[in-house]
A and B are shown apart, each in its own frame.
Chain A
Amino acid sequence: MIVSEADLDALLLTLKVAGISTGLLLLIGTPVAWWLVRTPSRWKSLVNAVVALPLVLPPTVLGFYLLVAMSPTGMVGRVTTALGLGTLPFTFPGLVVASVLYSFPFVVQPLQTAFAAIGERPLEVAATLRANALDSFFSVAVPLARPGFIAATVLGFAHTVGEFGVVLMVGGNIPGQTRVLSVQIYNHVEALEYAQAHWLAGGLLVFSFAVLLCLYGFNAGTVKK
Chain B
Amino acid sequence: MTLGLPLIARFNINYPGFALPVDLTLPGHGVTALFGHSGCGKTSFLRAVAGLERFPDSYLEVAGEVWQDDAKGLFVPVHRRAVGYVFQEASLFAHLSVRQNLAYGLKRSRHSAGLAFEQVVDWLGIEALLDRRPERLSGGERQRIAIARALLSQPKLLLFDEPLSALDIKRKAEILPFLERLHSQLDIPMLYVSHSPDEVARLADFLVLLADGKVLASGLLHETLARLDVADAFADEAGVAIDTVLAEHDVQDQLSRLDFPGGSIFVARQAQPLGRKLRCRILARDVSLNLERQQHSSILNIVSARVLDFADSATPGNILVRLDAQGTPLLAKITRRSLNHLGLSPGMVLWAQVKAVALLE
Residue positions of A touching B, CB distance < 8 A: 121-122, 124-132, 135-136, 139-140, 143-144, 146, 225
Contact A128–B93 (Cβ < 8 Å):
no
Which residues in A have their C-beta under 8 angstroms from that of B84?
Answer: 128
Contact A128–B95 (Cβ < 8 Å):
no
Tell yes or no: B105 within 8 A of A by CB. Answer: yes
State whether A124 and B52 are in contact (beta carbons under 8 Å apart), knowing that A130-B108, A143-B95, A144-B95 are contacts in the complex: yes
Which residues in A have their C-beta under 8 angstroms from that of B93?
Answer: 122, 125-126, 140, 144
Within 8 A of A (CB), among B88-111: 89, 91, 93-95, 104-105, 108-110
Report the bound CA distance from A128 to B149 in whole Å.
10
Chain B proximity of A54: nearest CB distance (Å): 31
Most buried by B among A122, A125, A140: A125
Q: Which label, helix, strand, loop or mixed, suits the secondary structure of the A interface?
A: helix
Closest 10 CB pairs of A and B: A129-B105, A130-B108, A127-B78, A128-B85, A143-B95, A127-B79, A130-B79, A132-B79, A125-B91, A129-B153
Within 8 A of A (CB), among B116-143: 135
Residue positions of B touching A, CB distance < 8 A: 50-52, 77-80, 83-85, 87, 89, 91, 93-95, 104-105, 108-110, 135, 149-150, 153
Chain B proximity of A97: nearest CB distance (Å): 34
A128: contacting residue among B89, B110, B135, B153, CB under 8 A: B153
Report the bound CA distance from A130 to B155 in whole Å.
10
Report the bound CA distance from A129 to B148 in whole Å.
12
7 A-B pairs within 8 Å (CB atoms) are namely: A127-B77, A128-B52, A128-B83, A129-B105, A129-B149, A130-B79, A136-B79
Contact A139–B104 (Cβ < 8 Å):
yes
Report the bound CA distance from A144 to B78 in whole Å.
21
Contact A129–B108 (Cβ < 8 Å):
yes
**A-B contacts, CB under 8 A, total:** 63
Contact A125–B85 (Cβ < 8 Å):
yes
A132 nearest CB neighbor, chain B only: B79
A225 nearest CB neighbor, chain B only: B135
B50: contacting residue among A128, A135, A136, CB under 8 A: A128
B79: contacting residue among A121, A122, A131, A225, CB under 8 A: A131
Contact B110–A130 (Cβ < 8 Å):
yes
Report the bound CA distance from A46 to B78 in whole Å.
31
Contact A122–B105 (Cβ < 8 Å):
no
Report the bound CA distance from A129 to B95 in whole Å.
16
Contact B150–A128 (Cβ < 8 Å):
yes
Contact A121–B91 (Cβ < 8 Å):
yes
Report the bound CA distance from A122 to B51 in whole Å.
15
Which residues in A have their C-beta under 8 angstroms from that of B78?
Answer: 124, 127-128
Chain B proximity of A81: nearest CB distance (Å): 45
Report the bound CA distance from A121 to B87 in whole Å.
9
Report the bound CA distance from A146 to B80 in whole Å.
28
Most buried by A among B50, B85, B108, B110: B108
Which residues in B have their C-beta under 8 angstroms from that of A122?
Answer: 91, 93-94
Chain B proximity of A147: nearest CB distance (Å): 11
Report the bound CA distance from A144 to B77 in whole Å.
23
State whether A125 and B87 are in contact (beta carbons under 8 Å apart), knowing that A131-B108, A139-B104 are contacts in the complex: yes
Report the bound CA distance from A40 to B208 in whole Å.
35
Which residues in B have their C-beta under 8 angstroms from that of A144?
Answer: 93-95
